[in-house]
Amino acid sequence: MAVTIFKSPLSGEYHGSMRMEGKQPAGRRRVFVQTETGCVLGMELDRGDNAHTVKRRLQLALNFPTEESSLTFGDMVLKNDLSAVRNDSPLLLKRNLIHRSSSTPCLSPTGRDTQQRDWSGPIEILGQSNRFAKMKQLVKEIVKAIKNGVDPIAVNGGLGGAYYFRNSRGESVAIVKPTDEEPFAPNNPKGFVGKALGQPGLKRSVRVGETGFREVAAYLLDNNHFANVPPTALVKITHAIFNVNDGVNGNKPHKKKLVSKIASFQQFIPHDFDASDHGTSSFPVAVVHRIGILDIRIFNTDRHAGNLLVRKLDGVGRFGQVELIPIDHGLCLPETLEDPYFEWIHWPQASIPFSEDELEYIKNLDHVRDCEMLLRELPMIREACLRVLVLCTIFLKEAATFGLCLAEIGEMMSREFRSGEEEPSELEVVCMEARRMIAEELLSPKADSIDENFQFDIDCEELELDVMPKKMVLDDYMARAPFQSGMSGGYVRCPLSRLEESIEEEDEDEDEESQGEEEQEGIATLPAAETIPTMSKLSMSLKNTVLCEKNKKHQKHTGAKLESGYLSNTSSGHRSANEQLPASMSFVKLADMSEDEWTMFLEKFQELLYPAFGKRKSVTLGQRQRQRLGTSCQF
């Protein structure tokens, strides 16, 4: 199935030399349309073309039914107007109102004329950022190597498709991850299929086929190469090594021919090992801080030791020194707050205060500028992802100004597990309280009508997120699993009060804490007036039993580690897609708010942060005062 530049029979002749020379006809744009089963078709759009024209061309080229389908571009469903679509943009064609199955095969374009009009190169970068200049040189080296017979190598480890592309000397210089070969995606080469592109993936708030642009977003947000993220771009890439499944089980090898994919394309960084193979005490404090700052900003839900590459620094006076290279950012910027995973949260470096240079860097972060940049470079990015970025950037800036260290910030973002159930993080509790406050302000006759047109609208019957209406009140939160609230007799307990209670609970000894947990299990027997929420104190410390729970969760959701340190994707176990999806709760939605509500929410959110920071700081000081003298050697 070779990608083609489809020429409409209604338009004039288009010559490939214009594309090769960069002289695109006025008003003409090139787009790459991807079906939810992974087929990719490149086509040129004229000024007067619309969504119906695109679907008609797809039907003619791929013999693909398009009657019950929608053409989407990020959050937008494209109708007649295609003015929002920019040059080299990837579009997704999704079927409507019918059961979707991954067994639909990828179809090759039909007709020799269509195939002969493929004027695109073997590797083409989607986007015009100046930061892709280095990637363009890398592309030239790889294309030259392919012409000389140096083929890429498939990565055997992991659960997703990934490939090392090499230069003419046979050295790996880039790792490519096709979006339709992710775990659960239609063309996954390891048998982990069962989802169409656009459906919930490993994380329910990260859709299948959308980890690629998140990898690019992490690189673009790494201002001035602060955290050392390798150069990454989104590409259309064509090669015979890529996988195309013929059936739902993915066990029928496809006849090898040129196949085009939309993929993330990241520079391969030579390294010695990853962080799981090396003692963390030798990692420089500044390097750990820089990676942590990035993880906080992008709400990384998968920062484990396997995606921190370690490279020894050679040279005079540098004995024993190393640098860290963070990779695998496909599960960052989720569409709603989840439980992040920060490997560094218990490293001693994370408890050291930020330096003046780091504080200055954090102070200069501009979420408005960052969102504008992402919309310009990755126009398919969803509004929900941008709101998570805005929220986390504000949270980081305010926390650093208050004087919190990296570990304290990470703990405030992490959930705690009690009796096998997830509880909202301190960050989520602040968000819940902010939403309660704006709900009270908006309670009026107008609030009786609920707007159900949510931006966060994952069209999948399997997705069971607790989506809350815009004009929700605290009662709606308390009525939802996994926690409940005692509201008998009109008594409503503010979730933010849990932060205040946590200080008193931290001051109790371990016996009293365990006794309190046992009593809390019998909450149903308490009188109505004494009933309290079953959610216990929030994640004030993860250093004891909770760390064990987090490690178990980490082992459950991370895939096989490659010897090279690179992961093709993260997952675990050989189970079906539905069994593999983590049962992660959603306590707070951000994208279902209107612009006015979002502005109000951010104002309330910032008002509530400093009291929450104060509680966190008090708890941290209390923990340090109770720390035994002998444990100081752990630092």
In this prediction, residue 326 carries a pLDDT of: 97
- Do residues 176 and 139 share a domain? yes
Distance CA 327, CA 229 (A): 7
- Closest listed residue to residue 456, CA positions, set 74, 36, 66, 59: 74
In this prediction, residue 627 carries a pLDDT of: 53
Q: Could you tell me if residue 61 is inside a domain?
A: yes
- Do residues 413 and 300 share a domain? yes
Alpha-carbon dihedral 451, 454, 458, 464, rounded to 10 degrees: -60
Q: Could you tell me if residue 378 is inside a domain?
A: yes
- Greatest pairwise CA separation for the chain in angstroms: 82
At 251 the three-state DSSP class reads: coil
Q: Could you tell me if residue 90 is inside a domain?
A: yes
Q: Indicate the pTM of the whole model.
A: 0.72
Q: Could you tell me if residue 105 is inside a domain?
A: no
- Do residues 130 and 260 share a domain? yes
Mean pLDDT per 10-residue segment, the chain (635 residues)? 37 32 55 78 80 80 72 82 80 63 43 46 84 90 95 90 96 96 92 88 90 96 95 93 71 66 95 88 94 98 94 70 94 95 95 97 97 92 96 98 96 90 94 94 60 44 41 39 34 43 47 47 37 34 36 41 45 40 71 94 96 89 59 44
- Do residues 431 and 327 share a domain? yes
Distance CA 619, CA 207 (A): 37
- Do residues 274 and 303 share a domain? yes
In this prediction, residue 255 carries a pLDDT of: 55
Q: Could you tell me if residue 478 is inside a domain?
A: no
- Do residues 140 and 236 share a domain? yes
Q: In which domain, by residue range, is 55 found?
A: 29-95
φ and ψ at residue 32, rounded to 5 degrees:
-120, 115
Token pair listed for 248: 């739902």
- Do residues 167 and 289 share a domain? no
- Do residues 37 and 50 share a domain? yes
- Do residues 311 and 415 share a domain? yes
Sheet holding 273-274, edge to edge: 273-274, 308-312, 322-326
In this prediction, residue 626 carries a pLDDT of: 57
The total domain count for the chain is 3
In this prediction, residue 12 carries a pLDDT of: 32
- Do residues 132 and 47 share a domain? no
Q: Could you tell me if residue 202 is inside a domain?
A: yes
- Closest listed residue to residue 105, CA positions, set 231, 248, 217: 248
- Residues linked to residue 323 through DSSP beta bridges, in sequence order: 311
Q: Could you tell me if residue 386 is inside a domain?
A: yes
DSSP tag of 78:
E
CB contact at 8 A, 125 and 135 = yes
Alpha-carbon dihedral 211, 216, 219, 220, rounded to 10 degrees: -130
Last residue of a domain, one of 236, 268, 300: 268
